[in-house]
Structure 1
């Protein structure tokens, strides 16, 4: 991984952590030499992407984070094109619907319409989840090119080599590309079914539309939930590419 990707990996990791983090933890979790961590932190601090925490020896997100959220929701092509379609999907399925993007480190939920019916779902707007498990993550990864996938595999090498999961993941990615959507049960939250379909800008995947429901409610509606999710993703793709 080159220095640019390492810098962004550190930034992504710090923004994901619920509390301030030490350089030693960053080094251990990201498998980056401690001297390199300090060097890259200095760059991020100079640009105010990272700042010193009130807890001695730890770091947290900098003032740049204050400038970004409102602009993203106001100007993003994805957000302006997806809102009404996401509401329609949640109303049609009576389940939780979300728009999810990803980077090399994690998926990021950027919008979500909660179901009026109960569902224990860890997807929270602005928060991240693993990029190697679950329907959303795997669908996002399936439509990336081989070079991008290899970077993800490199970034998550430790987790992927447990129980030969890398081989299973690669098989899942091929299947998702073939069928045009991804599904999972219990990979992120126990007992939760997920269906995801890709949203494209041109030929590039931009995000996924996902529906989440308790497995017991979804078991007799799998085809219906998949169809509704895929249709919504196609509708958003059309809107995006008309812009």
Structure 2
């Protein structure tokens, strides 16, 4: 496994696309209201990204047809925007990728539309709180396996389970780089594998299921749900290790 180490100049290059990710997520959150279609939201995001001289990184990536992954209710990740109109009580996840001058940013949020159930509030809080809890533990010398264990424990203690088969990842000159960072331990010794080093840049993205983490791919070949059929949630930040500490590049 070869994990890229970025110098300070390269991390500076990564700040622009990741700031745009954060701003796009904020814009989408403001427009995610009852009666708005997923395609309208996708266009709002694409127009904003392009207006800022960047490119929606997910459009065309592995054949994905739109600018933003928009996942509603039981769809946890990789939802394809369509004509669905958001309604009161929905939860919706936005996953945004931006490419600017050959450097990539990536981030995601899940939020509620109008009044949502207490269970969905807990579900969203689990993804967000787990992400920030994991970030607080990042330090030089910590193994990525240990970080996966921290994420899994944080999810389980909140009464939920991680989605299996999908993971966080490195990022930089490509949207997905080494290492893969699962949200759970995959059976190997926690003391094995690579350690976090100064200059590493990676995405953490807890993906939360309610009772069963086994994934199911929808007929569109993109949307991912849990076999339990219940709502899920997803949060993501891009993090750089700078001066021995985590810096969230997608937070604005």
Q: Which has the larger radius of gyration?
A: 1
TM, length-normalised to structure 2: 0.31
Normalising by structure 1, report the TM-score.
Answer: 0.32
Q: Per chain length, whose mean CA-contact separation is higher, i.e. which structure has more relative contact order (CA < 8 Å, sep 6+)?
A: 2
> When you count strand as a share of all residues, which structure comes out higher?
2
